[in-house]
A and B are shown apart, each in its own frame.
Chain A
């Protein structure tokens, strides 16, 4: 049963363009996350939002910015993409500390 939705599934763009990815969760969770999965399948935390407040920013480049309208939505904007941004971006949500996270299917970004 899918409860974390991400759009689009895939996106191909040119260097320097701006892109935006959407994430919505229907679980009623308070905390949402963005992770990056690179071509070697390494997963790294990028951002975390708790009740619309940014609580973690793991030294990602400034061209990345999370945006949230309410606790069910967390979008990710990349202002000027670079080739190293090619990856799968995974959104997740959690009911709180010490609980598991539920992941969406991911958005695959290819930067040409």
Chain B
């Protein structure tokens, strides 16, 4: 079945550091890929998506590029802020199944001032 792997369970950075969170997917079809962010006590919030190979999604300084060759959608930000501290989820949308989302295990980002 379709699945998403996030290798980093936790990431600790200082403000203005560069962020990379790795996301790899496995799917039989051609899925849409998403990044969501979740703050304590809230539901996940949509960050951005990409639907085709080489498409770049971006929002709030975060970005990721759909790479069908390496089946990846890594999240990057050039300079993190303390307010970016949250849990980040990579997700795969099953277009044949009314866009049911299959989430990775999440990466907790902590940014120290």
Interface size on A, as a range, is 20 to 34
Query: Separation in Å of the B6 CB from the closest CB of chain A?
Result: 11
A contacts with B: majority SS:
strand
A94 with B105, Cβ < 8 A, contacts A4-B43, A100-B46, A103-B43 known: no
B21-47 CB mask vs A (1 if < 8 Å, else 0) is: 000000000001010001001111110
| A-B CB pair tally, cutoff 8 Å | 66
- Please determine whether A97 and B99 come into contact, CB atoms closer than 8 angstroms: yes
- Tally chain B residues at the interface, Cβ within 8 Å: 25
User: Which residues of A are found within 8 Å of B108, using beta-carbon distances?
Assistant: 41
List A residues 35-55 near B (Cβ within 8 Å): 35, 40-45, 48, 50, 55
Taking beta carbons and an 8 Å cutoff, which residues of A are in contact with B?
Answer: 4, 31, 33, 35, 40-45, 48, 50, 55-56, 58, 90, 92, 94, 96-106
